[in-house]
Amino acid sequence: MEKMSRVTTALSSNAISGRTMFCHLDAPANAISVCRDATQVVVAGRNIFKIYALEEEQFVEKLNLRVGRKPSLNFSCADVMWHQMEENLLATAATNGAVVTWNLGKPSRNKQDQLFTEHKRTVNKVCFHPTEVYMLLSGSQDGFMKCFDLRKKESVSTFSGQSESVRDVQFSMKDYFTFAASFENGNVQLWDIRRPDRYERMFTAHTGPVFCCDWHPDDRGWLATGGRDKMVKVWDMTTNRPKEIYCVQTIASVARIKWRPERKFHLATCSMMVDHNIYVWDVRRPFIPFATFEEHKDVTTGIVWRHQHDPHFLLSGSKDSTLYQHMFKDATRPVDKANPEGLCFGLLGDLAFAAKESLISSDVNRKPYPGGDRRYPIFFFKKPDPTEQFAHVSSALSVFETDLNSNHMDWFVKTAQLYLLSGKPFAELCDHNAKVAQELKRPQVSTTWTMLRIMFSDPANLTATGPNHNLSSKLGTLPLMNSFSMKEMGTESRLERSKGESRPDNTHLEPGTSHISNNNEENEETEGSEGQAEYMFGDAELDDDELYSMEHDNQTVLLSNTVLSLLPLPNRHEAEVTCLTPIESFSLISISQPLYSPHLPGSFFCPIAREMLSYYAEQGDVQMAVSVLIVLGERIRKEIDDLTQEHWYMSYIDLLQRFELWNVSNEVIKLSTCSAITCLNQASTTLHINCSNCKRPMSNKGWICDRCHQCASVCAVCHHVVKGLFVWCQGCSHGGHLEHIMNWLKSSAHCPAGCGHLCEYT
Amino acid sequence: MTSGPSAFIPSKEMLKEGPDQDILIESFLSLGRVDHITMVMALHHAYLSCFLRTQHALFELDGPLPHHWRHYIAIMAAARHQCSYLVQQHSAGFLEAGGEESWLSGLEHAPTKLRSLQTLNKLLAHRPWLIAQQHIQELVCPGAEPRWSLAELIHAVILMAHAHSLCSFVWGCGIKPEPDHIGGYTFAPHSPSRLSHSPHSPLADGVMEVEVLMKRMVELQQQQLQQQEEEEEECTQEEMVTRFERERSESIPTGTDMFASHSFMLRLVEDPGFRYEDFAPRGEQAPPTMRAQDYSWEDHGFSLVNRLLPDMGQLLDEKFQVVSDLTYHRMAMHEGVDTYTLRKALWNYIHCLYGIRYDDYDYGSVNVLLERSLKVFVKTVACHPEQTTARVYCSFWRHFRHSEKVHANLIVMEARLQAALLYPLRAITHYMR
């Protein structure tokens, strides 16, 4: 309370007001500092050293401290600090290792007061004692900290950090004798100013350099540190060992850190690289900044709160050569843009949904969840903390359970396990998978497999004919057929599909081929009745004839192979043959029109297959889409863009892994053709081996442990090192190569190692 | 020709220095061979292990660039320094990773995306201080065709800088071709790495040199202490700048004759006449110096690399750290010597040759500690590695051990790598701004 009154007096005597404003500096700033009464700010950098007055509407340049025609390197500042007791006193840290003090009360143009050139390397930080007028502390790249008494010409004590590079030094606000120093190697040391021989305590705060630290202005035990590892940590120093009490993960290395006055849990940070914003964090809410200031166009190098008891004004200097005054009320509040809703599906179709409580309760007459009507509303309440200024959102979490029978996923697991994706000829794979689907009572899927087989089977493989000799005889008839199928199938397939969709699903329940052929007959009736088709015969005949005679020479070469070729030509000669030897599967479709599908190249069906795949994927059966994709392989791969494929693969693999079907998932990864997918099982392939004897890790130097000089896991039968599967008896723990042990056990029941144990293997 | 991995170092010397067996076994197991670079580096096994780790991460582990591209980029980079050793090493790696053989017969067979790196490669190898934001922009901006992503680009930049600096090491240590290389045990026109091996003859005044150097180091250290106490004799900034400029533009005669390089390498180089150029004497449009305090590896470079290529920053950081801390506290025949000032002078001299200036370093000490023959060697290796000869190697530090000379080579290599990396990294930072 007492403090509060002091604040009000401090404020009323010199009321701070202003607005968000900025001014251009001539050069990038490295650091800024503000004088005690918050009316002036000093900006220092390599090529700038100026004092600006903070007025209501603007910054006004008061003084340029960089004087002389050729300013020496002593003016090239890495850091600056304005004394908080003595308003004419400033100190700067120069990049050449000098520590300079400046007295604004000097009448001459050059205000330089004292010059200390004791550090050998760049001085990173200077810090005045908060209550002692003449005490100045510096921290340098050379690993030393020095304490100066400004009444003397040289340092009074030197503190050796025993390490390279001190990055920051800060006097404690409350403990008169204590200061903290942060180091490039990640350590933070606490020193007693009276004891330069040895630090009081040391702890490792970050991995990599600790760029900054700041004592809490009110709480004596709290020290905040920021490092290159992008972390801000708050340490409680009152305990025996410094304890990390808060940790904030930012997106870039933390260059400066400053506690916000009058707000116990707030601190401001800025970064040294890439990120130009200033963030104010509530350390208790580490995942989202409390406020951000986004004005700067280059990295912010200095931040300071304008008045030590006013939390509403923040000043900042930047490499973009501007000096800003930020008003807290103008800050961006990221939390307002955050989405407090969450939604997630469980493995078995359960659905969890968290949303603002207000949203849920207002929605009383919402439709019941169709899958199941059980629902557990769980409410989370965070005890509202009056000091916490975050907008309070209390969320309600609802879990919707699906009815066990309506949506259970056994079929998925079974299908995944039973499907064959490779290793056999295409037709057999299709048949097998069709059968699997059939057994799981999924006739539509089963039919799809069969159809695929028909569409993409390579007829050339089924029968071997001498293509050359009957070429001429076919010239007359074949083009007809081809042109027909070419032009007709386009409309036909669309027709077929639309029918398939309009048909209710349950008509499929009846298993068997008869049903399918029925469908086909149905379709084909309409096909047959179309007059257009006949009309096309004549038209096409001519075209194709010409085409055919032109291509005649190449024909013999092309004939025997490719099905994938886009020209329908190579398949012509098969037509007759397939008609003569009807094959079961073909008969399904070719009942009424035997001339049909087998003669078309697989590529012709690609658009249909593609649509089919997309259809399944959209229905949520990504399993089907991926399985077909793999089985069809090259036949279809080019038709579907890589991103979609990758997306399907990822979804399917994710599902498989959630069901713990590791083997299947690995097979899918292996068989996929997307580079992004195949590399999934290339990562982290290292196996770490421990010696079976001394249980310590083996380095990769062959099979002898370099600690106990024993061969790792020797086979009891052949006395060689086992480099693959090792099987051992759980009774006597002797074992060896799987094969050797199996052979051994055929002839003897005793342990091969001769220990006399009657080994048992299951 | 002597046997052993280096044309400069007698093979019995290598054995005498007793490389750590374990590390060689490890590298044999992981690479399937122990190449000459590894053998020479094994003189400093602390360094070797982190070098191998970095190399493994650069070429083998996951990264934005396909594996054969990585080797091809290294080939392009090594060809700039006519380093047939590295070109052949990476050609093998390139083919092994499934690269197309025709690419090796000339740049014109490689994809345009790779060829678009040529300018950057050229600048990075010889005058990295010229690399500016627009070079990055040309490759990365949305309109660029073919377009590089930032992660790919930074990977490529590190690969190139790595290969360039490794060239310095290969030439500086006189690494001999592997048995299966041209110039190894295969019969073919000899590689330009053939060198007349002059016997390592210690001269009478050699002993004197060491003594003088020792004395100077001690003097310098005391001087600094004294300065602290007396605080007078402080140099003006003018004087400091002059000292830096003097070091930077001092004309050190490096070999000028151009080797006729292998035709297979010439086809991989564009604009072969582009070389390191001495900084003009002060006043004549000297290119701007980079201030180490404004853009340093520790504060800026590391964060950028780690952001775009996770772990790589860590590995490089570790490598720089190991090199700058590496010491055996001995010098020639003396034990228990603090060589920090000497190592620092070497490092800063190389950065100075690449236009990087430390405000807090007095470049006068470079002149005191580095005698002329050493400067000739360092400048040759760092800037024109292909012109290194056995004479240059032999004439500096005549009484030092070979392992110490290899140590010097390591410092040159890493200092060069860091200096060369800082410029493109700064340009990328500016681009991202």
Query: Given CB atoms, is B56 within the 8 Å cutoff of chain A?
Result: no
- Give the amino acid at A476: G
* Bigger pLDDT: A406 vs B374: B374
Any domain includes B3:
no
Is the residue at B1 inside a domain?
no
- Flag whether pLDDT at A613 surpasses 90: no
pLDDT class of A578 with cuts at 50, 70, 90: very low
Q: How far is CA A383 from CA A375, A388, A392, A393, in A?
A: 25, 11, 10, 11
Q: Is B118 on the interface with A (CB under 8 A)?
A: no
- Mean pLDDT of all residues in B276-282: 65
Nearest to A701 among B29, B307, B433 (CB): B29
Which residues does chain B have within 8 Å of residue A294's beta carbon, measured at their own beta carbons?
A: none
Residue A269: predicted pLDDT: 94
> What is the reported pLDDT for B268?
76
Domain of residue B293, residue span = 11-432
CA angle at residue A642 from A638 to A644, to 5 degrees? 110
Structure tokens at B117: 């790196």
How high is the pLDDT of residue A407? 58
**A253/B227 Cβ within 8 A:** no
Give dist(CA A146, CA A166) in Å, integer.
Answer: 11
Tell whether B4 is covered by a domain: no
Please name the residue ranges forming H helices in B288-371. 302-308, 312-325, 340-353, 364-369
Classify residue B5: in a domain, yes or no: no
pLDDT (average), residues A699-713: 68
Which chain B residues contact residue A228 at CB under 8 A?
299, 302-303
pLDDT at residue A86, rounded to an integer = 87
What's the rounded Cα separation, in Å, for the pair A20 and A42?
18
Is B299 close to A78, i.e. CB distance below 8 A? no
pLDDT surpasses 70 at A521 = no
First-last CA distance in chain A: 78
Query: Over 60: is that where the pLDDT of B5 sits?
Result: yes
- Per-residue confidence (pLDDT) for residue B350, from 0 to 100: 92
Task: Give the model's pLDDT for residue A607.
Answer: 83
Q: What is the helix (H) or strand (E) element at residue A626, kind and residue range?
A: helix A622-632
Average pLDDT in the A231-249 region? 91
Of all residues in chain B, the one with the smallest CA distance to A78 is: B293
Q: What is the sign, positive or negative, of the torsion defined by CA atoms of B351, B352, B355, B358?
A: positive
Report how far Cα A669 is from the mean position of its chain's Cα atoms. Answer: 20
Q: Do B359 and A298 touch (CB under 8 A)?
A: no
A405 pLDDT band, cuts 50/70/90, is low
Q: What angle do CA A160, A161, A162 make, to 5 degrees?
A: 90
Please give the Cα distance from B170 to B183 (Å, whole number).
15
Confidence of residue A582 (pLDDT cuts 50, 70, 90): very low
Cβ-defined contact of A96 to B298 (cutoff 8 Å): no
Burial class (CB in 10 A: 0-12, 13-18, 19+), A748: exposed
* Mean pLDDT value of segment A273-286: 89
Mean pLDDT of B391-395: 85
Residues 6+ apart with CB under 8 A from A303: A32, A256, A258, A268, A269, A270, A278, A314, A315, A316
Candidates A139, A149, A218, A208; CA nearest to A179 is A139
Please say if the pLDDT value at position A689 is more than 80. no
List the single range of A74-78, A328-332, B113-117, B224-228 with lowest mean pLDDT: B224-228
Task: Give the percent of chain A with pLDDT over 70.
Answer: 70
Q: Could you tell me if residue B6 is inside a domain?
A: no
How far apart, in whole angstroms, are the C-alpha atoms of residue B153 and residue B138?
11
| First CA to last CA distance, chain B | 54
Segment A682-707 shows an average pLDDT of 69
Known catalytic residue at B50: no
Partners of A701 on chain B (C-beta within 8 Å) are 22, 25-26, 29
Q: How far apart are CA A611 and CA B205, in angstroms?
A: 87
CB contact under 8 A, A701 and B22: yes
Interface touch B304/A72, C-beta < 8 Å: no
Q: How far apart are CA B323 and CA B330, in angstroms?
A: 16
Instruction: Name the H helices within A389-442.
Output: 410-418, 426-439
Total domains present in chain B: 1
Q: Would you mind telling me the total number of residues written for chain B in this entry?
A: 433
Q: Which residue matches tokens 């000096």?
A: A323
- Alpha-helix runs per DSSP H in A440-477: 443-456, 459-462, 471-474
Find tokens 């002060």 and name the residue.
B282
Look at A370 and A725; give whichever has higher pLDDT.
Answer: A725
SS3 assignment, position A158: strand
Q: Do A117 and B234 touch (CB under 8 A)?
A: yes
Q: Tell me how far apart the alpha carbons of residues B370 and B350 are, in angstroms, rounded to a whole number.
A: 12
pLDDT of A432 over the 50 cut:
yes
CB–CB of B293 and A252 under 8 A? no
**Residue of chain B with shortest Cα separation from A120:** B360
- Nearest one of B118, B71, B70 to B270, comparing CA atoms: B118
- Residues of chain A with Cβ-Cβ distance to B289 below 8 Å are none
Q: Which residue of B has its CA nearest to A228?
A: B303
Query: Which CATH superfamily includes the segment(s) A21-253?
Result: YVTN repeat-like/Quinoprotein amine dehydrogenase (2.130.10.10)
Chosen for mutation from B236, B289, B290, B299 (greatest number of chain A CBs closer than 10 Å) is B299
Flag the least confident range among A118-132, A248-262, A411-425, A712-726. Answer: A712-726
More confident position, B185 or B354: B354
By Cβ distance, the residue of B227, B237, B294 closest to A73 is B237
pLDDT tens for A153-188 read 888 999 998 887 899 999 998 888 999 999 998 999
Indicate yes or no: pTM above 0.80: no
Q: Is the pLDDT of residue A544 over 50?
A: no
Name, in order, each residue with C-beta under 8 angstroms of A259's C-beta and a sequence gap of 6 or more.
A214, A215, A216, A217, A224, A266, A267, A268
Give the domain ranges of chain A.
21-253, 339-362+391-405, 407-457+602-684, 685-761
Exposed / middle / buried, residue A8 (Cβ in 10 Å: 0-12, 13-18, 19+): exposed
Question: Which of A72, A253, A699 faces B237 most closely, judged by CB atoms?
Answer: A72
B50, B83, B352, B394: which is the annotated catalytic residue?
B83
pLDDT digits (tens, 9 = 90+) for A16-28: 778 889 999 988 9
In chain A, DSSP finds a helix count (H) and a strand count (E) of 20, 34
Tokens representing B349 are: 């001299």
The one-letter amino acid code at B414 reads E
Tell me the nearest-neighbour CA distance from B402 into chain A, angstroms.
29
**Is B2 contained in some domain?**
no
- Averaged over A533-543, what is the pLDDT? 40
Is there a contact between A141 and B26 if contact means CB atoms under 8 Å apart? no
Residue B146, preceding bond cis, omega within 30 degrees? yes
Quick one: closest CA in A to B311, which residue?
A: A229
Residue A675 scores a pLDDT above 80: no
Weakest mean pLDDT among A467-471, A654-658, B407-411, B420-424: A467-471
Residue numbers in A near B304 (CB within 8 A): 273-274
Inter-chain touch A95–B298, beta carbons under 8 Å = no
Q: Which residue of B has its CA nearest to A296?
A: B433
Lowest mean pLDDT among B67-81, B228-242, B284-298: B228-242
- Tell me which of A379 and A640 has the higher pLDDT: A640
Q: Which residues of chain B are within 8 Å of residue A270 when distances are taken between CB atoms? A: none
Q: Determine the pLDDT at residue A225.
A: 95
Q: Which of A378, A211, A376, A370 is nearest to A300 (CA)?
A: A211
B146 band by pLDDT with thresholds 50, 70 and 90 = confident
Please check whether residue B369 lies inside any domain of the structure: yes
> Are A435 and A512 spatial neighbours (Cβ–Cβ below 8 Å)?
no
CA nearest to A211 within chain B: B299
In chain A, what residues touch B22 (CB-CB under 8 Å)? 699, 701
